[in-house]
Amino acid sequence: MDKTKKASHLDDMVENIRDSLNIALFGKNELSTTKTGSVVLSDATLGHIENTICRVLTTNLKQEDLLLERIELQEVKMKHLEKQRSSAAIQHQQEIELTKREYETR
């Protein structure tokens, strides 16, 4: 996922979480209720919640990026080891062939 898609995905996630909130843990002065009993959060509270969610999600995305980088690095290392193993096998086979030829010439 490129950076633009990640940012858009992050915005969508924040908006979904923000829309689904129905209570606040920030004190009674930050909320009010409508005639139907719905809880309404102040803009300041919503902003605080949104910033907190953004920090958490951004941290998670950074950790995901680090994990992906580590996986890619491990894949590169594995390919390098496979090449080394292949080279070692070829060299070993060549040594066997040389030893056979030396033995046959005796």
pLDDT tens figures, 26-41: 444 555 666 676 666 6
pTM here is 0.46
Q: For residue 26, what is the DSSP state?
A: S
49 pLDDT band, cuts 50/70/90, is confident
State how far the Cα of 31 lies from the Cα of 95, in Å rounded to an integer.
81
Average pLDDT over residues 51-61: 84
Contacts of 62 (CB under 8 A, 6+ apart): none
Which of the four pLDDT bands, split at 50, 70 and 90, describes residue 15?
A: low
**Is the pLDDT confidence value at 82 over 80?**
yes
Mean pLDDT (the chain) is 78
Q: How far apart are CA 77 and CA 83, in angstroms?
A: 10
CA atoms of 98 and 92, how far apart (whole Å): 10
For 36-59, what is the mean pLDDT?
Answer: 77
Task: Calculate the alpha carbon distances from 27 to 24, 38, 51 in Å.
Answer: 7, 16, 18
* E-strand stretches of 7-98: 31-33, 39-41
